[in-house]
Structure 1
Amino acid sequence: MGKAGFDVVPLTPERWPDLEDLFGPKGACYGCWCNHFRMPQKQRMPLLGEGARLLFEERVRKGPPPGVIAYDGETCVGWLQVGPRRDVSEWNNPRRASTPLPDAPAEDPRNWAASCFFVRKQWRGQRVTAALLDGAIDFARASGARLLEAAAMDHELKRSSEGLYVGPERIFLRAGFSEVARQKPGRPLMRLAL
């Protein structure tokens, strides 16, 4: 049992139905299905909805796991996309808060990113995000990652819960991350050496 009583495990093909249930029939975040950082907007926008779902399902089926999911008993209550930076090419875009630093190039498969959270509405505010991050740290470490980075939302920015898909700064600080750069206001690039 993980933090706050949640079990956090890698998203493997046999767990796909649980993720589908979590995201709902339209898919999380307006039909994105966690493709936002994986491809340029021009490629991503026409896929929103069913096309994005099919693409993401194929990614999960082929492996390796593209992230971790959290369970409260039998119910899947949260998702965190986590894996090598090179797998989320748009996260490495030089105009983003998550732009890689010279000491942690995106091409190095040991440099990982925690890029997108999603928590079932009824479970928000119950520490699912913190449990997901703890599970992601364990997953990254077990997978041979050298470091894990995130472009969190700091406490100064007031956003909706959907706007916090990158994660709030406070959960990264509690997990031992430190700020290594601030390439955009309100969006610290945070890092944990593994």
Structure 2
Amino acid sequence: MSTDAAVDAILEVRPLTVETWPAFDAMVVRHNGIFGGCWCTWFHPERHDRAPGAEGSRQMKRQCVEGGIAHAALVMDGDEAIAWAEFGTPSELPNIHHRKQYDAEKVGDPDYRITCVFVDKRYRRKGVTETAIKGALELIAKDGGGVVEAYPHDLTEQTKKLSSSFLYNGTRRLYERLGFTYVRPKGMKNCVMSITVPPAVPTATPN
């Protein structure tokens, strides 16, 4: 499907599972492993049996998905994954940037955190990042909801435009539009933001 056609298409959000792994994997491969071959594993606890290099990251992520300890909202254009928003509990995703400062200043842990958002380079600056984050919040609601933290880039005082490829977790302005509240700064140009997601209302089953 062409990029112009994809903009007009209705995009679907699906959870990262064993069934959707091939689409997720293909997207990472298209982008040379994402940030040097990390396969979005940096935020997970380190595994003693992890093989080295990008292939080791790939295997580790697959094992986490198979074990039900890796979660993400995949934005799908047909059968192709074009974006994702990684989320999970603090025990699933304990590694965050500026963690020493974060741990020293936190009052408590959230129920969930959103740690990484990535969009296929063909679809950037088209609102897909927002679709991915909304998808993560919807999946969290289906899982019972709770307090959700995110750690976006705070560019409110920056005049120079930053490449979207470096915005691994979106921007403060984007999360404010989605209803998140600014909590505190984290590091030089990041911050902690929070939202309380109510549990999803079960859909009535027809008789």
Shorter chain as denominator, the TM-score bin is 0.7 to 0.9
Query: Counting helix residues as a fraction of each chain, which structure ranks higher?
Result: 1
Q: Which has the larger radius of gyration?
A: 2
By relative contact order (CA 8 Å, sep 6+), the higher-ranking structure is 1
Distance in 2 (alpha carbons) for counterparts of 1:27 and 1:100: 33
Distance in 1 (alpha carbons) for counterparts of 2:103 and 2:139: 21
Distance in 2 (alpha carbons) for counterparts of 1:142 and 1:94: 28
Report whether the alignment pairs 1:169 with 2:188: no
Distance in 2 (alpha carbons) for counterparts of 1:159 and 1:52: 27
Tell me the alpha carbon deviations over residues 90-119 of structure 1, each in whole angstroms, 9 at most, x when there is no partner.
Answer: 1286325687721x326xxxx101001111
1:118 is matched with 118
Report whether the alignment pairs 1:57 with 2:57: no
CA, structure 1 residues 5+170, in 2 after alignment: closer, same or farther (shift >3 Å)?
farther
Q: TM-score, length-normalised on structure 1?
A: 0.84
Does the residue aligned with 2:19 lie in a helix, a strand or coil? Answer: helix
Higher alpha-carbon deviation: 180-189 or 93-102: 93-102
Distance in 2 (alpha carbons) for counterparts of 1:99 and 1:13: 37
The Cα shift of 1:33 comes to 0.6
Please show how residues 95-106 of structure 1 align to structure 2 within 5 Å: 95=100, 101-102=106-107, 104-105=108-109
Report whether the alignment pairs 1:36 with 2:42: yes
Q: TM-score, length-normalised on structure 2?
A: 0.79
CA, structure 1 residues 119+98, in 2 after alignment: closer, same or farther (shift >3 Å)?
farther
The Cα shift of 1:69 comes to 0.4
Superposition RMSD on alpha carbons, in Å? 2.7
Where in structure 2 are there 5+ consecutive unaligned residues? 1-8, 198-207
1:151 is matched with 151
Distance in 2 (alpha carbons) for counterparts of 1:20 and 1:86: 24
Q: Which amino acid aligns with 1:62?
A: G
